[in-house]
Structure 1
């Protein structure tokens, strides 16, 4: 889990962590943008689907799809998972 430090340790001030899925390869690798609180703090990452699920769950990421057509694919990756999945393409 990513360590975040906020003034006074207030969990309400924890940065929003978001994973915006940009693609899933035929080899079951997820391509995504990881946003750390501010869209200016974004990094492109790739992980196999199981590792992506663990990453998002462990870090309590909001998961979205960059393309609304990919929303169903993203939802299927997280069926039965406690991750926060937002099924629309808007981020």
Structure 2
């Protein structure tokens, strides 16, 4: 049987939320992470359910990501976006053939 313990320094009691959008129909789009804010899942909930979710999980609210935050400081600014520079939410605005 494999050992599935979290790596040292990975605190599973810390929960993070970063709001990524708000829809006109009252839904809140957000990222939710456990242990490390860099590894998150995208979620969407009605505003009241979002507030309850945050309270139940005792989340730390993270500031919104700015374009400057998403640019690697070691790269030059003329770099083209990578194939990995997208979010699942972006797919709702893209037509696939």
TM-score, normalised via structure 1 length: 0.54
Higher helix share: 1
Q: What residue number does 1:89 align with?
A: none
- Contact 2:12 / 2:34 at 8 angstroms: preserved in 1? no
Instruction: State the match for 1:15 in structure 2.
Output: 13
1: CA distance, partners of 2:63 / 2:26: 16
Shift in alpha-carbon separation, 1:25–1:63, aligned structure 2, 3 A? same
1:58 aligns with one of 56, 59, 62: 56
RMSD, matched Cα:
2.4
Structure 2 gaps of 5+ residues are: 1-5, 67-97
Give the secondary structure class of the aligned counterpart of 2:53: helix
The structure whose Rg is larger is 2
* Structure 1: 5+ residue stretches without partners: 1-5, 7-12, 69-91
Counterparts of 1:65 and 1:25, CA distance in 2: 18
Looking at structure 1, the residues matched to 12 and 44 of structure 2 have their Cα atoms a distance apart, in angstroms, of: 24
User: After the TM superposition, which parts of structure 1 deviate over 3 Å for at least 4 consecutive aligned residues?
Assistant: none
User: Secondary structure of the residue that 1:35 maps to in structure 2?
Assistant: strand
TM-score (normalised: structure 2): 0.51
